[in-house]
């Protein structure tokens, strides 16, 4: 990948020419089905690239379900899961739009990001900020459905969201700040059910932060050369050829913390079996990672959606077991 090689006229196949984003999957639903006038804003919110929404959402769902396991309920509250889903979509969109606003000059100089809505001229910086405010308003309407403790906790996350885009200018560990912000839902999901924060939620959150540092380091290797040229920082540049070792360490830490969270919440064997399967998937990511191949990195980054789904399904199964055990 070479900076200054960007050509916004070359959209992905199946997209819409200059308006398509180069790192979105060809033929995604936004490029194919969304009304033309909406597409720039849907792209700005990354709705053409849903992997980030899933990675933001799953820790929320994990925490809600883990809290219900500890309560002995047979399943999580469907309304609560739906609220977190809407919240994840709009808050991820707001975060991405804000990040693109802050990074607009850098994005214009990199091939992979030059076709994004702001640097390509599809959306003006001023319109992007209005869009951010509108999404935050929707997020607030979702947030007020929860208890007061969760509302305050959710509002506190905006500090991390606000400072994250600047971290790559200041520290080689911006992925750590991303992890703190991106997994805040692990705290909120538990608080929404319990009205407090307890040890399982803290452990779940800490493990999820390590998970994010791992997978976003893989993602950052796609831009390592460009970041170096632009003077930006990342864990990908810090770890270099040792990235598989470091990512493996973060993943092992995440697994151990998730196991500890499950143990303290009273989960059963099915949850630990699910975590073991996730460990095998993570081992595949690390053992087959080629940091010099952007497509290899992107595939392994996206594979973390399977990690999220597996943990969630294991917790769902555990709620049924917890409920059955309570009846016996």
CA–CA distance, 117 with 123 (Å, rounded to integer):
5
19 located within any domain: no
- Is the dihedral angle over the CA atoms 47, 308, 258, 288 positive or is it negative? negative
Q: Given this model, what pLDDT does residue 323 score?
A: 72
Instruction: Tell me if 75 sits within 8 A of 316, measured CB to CB.
Output: yes
The reported pLDDT for the residue numbered 173 is 95
Nearest Cα neighbor of 116 from 140, 106, 307 is 106
For residue 242, give every residue at least 6 positions away whose Cβ sits within 8 Å of its Cβ, in sequence order, or none.
none
Sign of CA dihedral 319, 206, 143, 58: negative
| Residue keyed to tokens 């702001």 | 118
Measured distance CA(268)–CA(277) in Å, rounded: 15
Tokens of 55: 């990675």
Structural domain contains residue 226: yes
- d(CA 60, CA 54) in angstroms, rounded, equals 10
User: Per residue in 142-166, is it b (16+ CB within 10 Å) or e — as a string?
Assistant: bbeebeeebbebbeebbebbeebbe
150 lies in some domain: yes
> Cα–Cα distance between 178 and 23 in angstroms, integer?
20
The CA distance from 185 to 53, in Å, is: 12
Residue-level pLDDT at 193: 96
Residue count of the chain, please give it.
Answer: 328
Residue 54 within any structural domain of the chain: yes
Mean pLDDT for all residues in the chain: 89
How far does CA 121 lie from the centroid of its chain? 26
Place of tokens 């997020």: 139
* Count of domains forming the chain: 1
* Residue 13 forms part of a structural domain: no
pLDDT at 154: 96
Q: Is 7's pLDDT higher than 50?
A: no
SS3 content of the chain, % helix, strand, coil (to 5): 75, 0, 25
Residue 79, φ and ψ in degrees, nearest 5 = -60, -40
**Can you give the residue range of the structural domain that contains 311?**
30-327
**Residue-wise pLDDT tens digits, 154-182:** 999 999 999 999 999 999 999 999 999 99
The C-alpha atoms of residue 314 and residue 204 are separated, in whole angstroms, by 14
Instruction: Tell me whether residue 164 is in a domain.
Output: yes
112: pLDDT strictly greater than 90: no
Per the structure block, which two tokens stand in for 136?
A: 């935050």
Distance CA 151, CA 60 (A): 14
Is 17 among the domain residues?
Answer: no
- Of the pLDDT bands very low, low, confident and very high (cuts 50, 70, 90), residue 141 is very high
For the domain that residue 286 is a member of, what is the CATH number?
1.10.357.140
Query: DSSP secondary-structure letter at 11?
Result: P
Query: Which tens digit of pLDDT belongs to each residue from 80-98?
Result: 999 999 999 999 999 999 9
Whether pLDDT at 11 is above 60: no
3-class DSSP state of 14: coil
- Residue 117 within any structural domain of the chain: yes
With CA atoms as reference, report the closest residue to 220 among 192, 281, 258, 179.
179
Q: Where are the alpha helices (DSSP H) in 221-268?
A: 224-230, 235-239, 243-265
**Residues 211-255: tens digit of each pLDDT:** 999 999 999 998 888 788 888 899 999 999 999 999 999 999 999
Q: Which pLDDT score is estimated for 22?
A: 63
Per-residue pLDDT tens digits for 52-75 = 999 999 999 999 999 999 888 888
């Amino acid at each position: 990948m070479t900076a200054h090689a960007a050509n916004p006229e070359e959209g992905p196949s199946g997209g819409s020419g200059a308006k398509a984003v180069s790192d979105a999957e060809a033929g995604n639903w936004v490029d194919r089905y969304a009304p033309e006038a909406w597409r720039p804003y849907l792209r700005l919110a990354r709705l053409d690239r849903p992997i980030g929404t899933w990675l933001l959402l799953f820790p929320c769902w994990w925490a809600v379900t883990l809290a219900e396991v500890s309560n002995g309920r047979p399943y999580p509250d469907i309304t609560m899961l739906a609220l977190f889903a809407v919240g994840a979509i709009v808050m991820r969109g707001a975060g991405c739009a804000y990040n693109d606003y802050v990074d607009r000059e850098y994005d214009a100089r990199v091939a992979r990001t030059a076709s994004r809505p702001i640097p390509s001229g599809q959306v003006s910086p001023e319109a992007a900020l209005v869009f951010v405010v509108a999404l935050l308003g929707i997020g607030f309407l979702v947030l007020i459905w929860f208890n007061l403790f969760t509302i305050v906790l959710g509002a506190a996350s905006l500090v991390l969201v606000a400072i994250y885009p600047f971290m790559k200018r200041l520290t080689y560990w911006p992925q750590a700040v991303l992890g703190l912000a991106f997994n805040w839902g692990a705290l909120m999901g538990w608080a929404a059910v319990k009205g407090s924060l307890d040890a399982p939620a803290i452990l779940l959150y800490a493990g999820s932060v390590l998970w994010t540092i791992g997978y976003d380091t893989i993602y950052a290797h796609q831009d390592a050369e460009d970041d170096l040229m632009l003077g930006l920082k990342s864990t990908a540049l810090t770890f270099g050829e040792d990235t598989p070792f470091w990512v493996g360490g973060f993943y092992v830490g995440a697994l151990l913390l998730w196991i500890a969270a499950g143990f303290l919440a009273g989960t059963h064997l099915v949850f630990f079996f699910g975590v073991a399967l996730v460990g095998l998937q993570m081992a595949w990511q690390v053992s087959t990672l080629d940091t010099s191949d952007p497509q290899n990195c992107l595939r392994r980054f996206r594979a973390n959606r399977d990690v999220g789904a597996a943990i969630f399904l294991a917790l769902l199964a555990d709620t049924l077991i917890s409920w059955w055990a309570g009846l016996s």
